[in-house]
């Protein structure tokens, strides 16, 4: 639902509440609850954006290597993604998939610690997929 739709919906609920059986206090309470929900959504989006920007900055800093660009180590990259909230760790007692389970291929025993994309990590990848063809458009 777009911001304008949410605002319009909230306004209609507010108007209905005042016109209907609800008291003005109840209507204001409803409006306040909606505002808090919108604020929580905005705060969560901001946290996700900050995590992605922090990760991007750390990767660029590591790659630039004080003026001597170099490869970025995969283990370092994974730990940085974990620290920035783009990956989450899970203890697994067996393969997560029937086929193509990297943990099953490299580990001989269970349980093992596996790394999965967090919601923020998945969102970052979707954004990368959407902008991949437009990388230099800005």
Give the orientation angle of helix 24-64 with respect to helix 74-83, to 10 degrees: 160
- What's the pTM value of the predicted model, to 2 decimals? 0.64
pLDDT of residue 20 exceeding 60, the answer is no
pLDDT digits (tens, 9 = 90+) for 36-87: 999 999 998 898 889 989 999 899 888 888 788 888 899 999 999 999 999 9
Query: What percentage of residues in the chain have a pLDDT greater than 70?
Result: 79
DSSP H helical ranges for 65-101: 74-83
The angle formed by the CA atoms of residues 22, 24 and 30, to the nearest 5 degrees, is: 75
CA distances from residue 25 to 14, 15, 22, 29, 63 in whole angstroms, order as listed = 11, 13, 8, 6, 57
CA distances from residue 104 to 88, 89, 91, 107, 117 in whole angstroms, order as listed = 18, 15, 13, 5, 17
């Amino acid at each position: 639902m777009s911001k304008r739709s949410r605002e319009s919906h909230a306004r209609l609920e507010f108007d209905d509440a005042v016109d209907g059986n609800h008291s003005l206090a109840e209507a204001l309470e409803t409006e306040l609850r909606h505002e808090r929900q919108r604020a929580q959504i905005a705060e969560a989006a901001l946290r996700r954006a900050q995590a992605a920007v922090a990760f991007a900055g750390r990767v660029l800093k590591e790659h630039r290597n004080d003026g001597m660009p170099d490869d970025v180590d995969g283990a370092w990259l994974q730990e940085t993604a974990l620290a920035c909230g783009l990956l989450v760790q899970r203890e697994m007692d067996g393969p997560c998939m029937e086929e193509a389970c990297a943990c099953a291929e490299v580990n001989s025993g269970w349980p093992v610690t596996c790394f999965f994309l967090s919601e923020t990590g998945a969102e970052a990848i979707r954004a990368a997929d959407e902008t991949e063809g437009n990388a230099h458009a800005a």
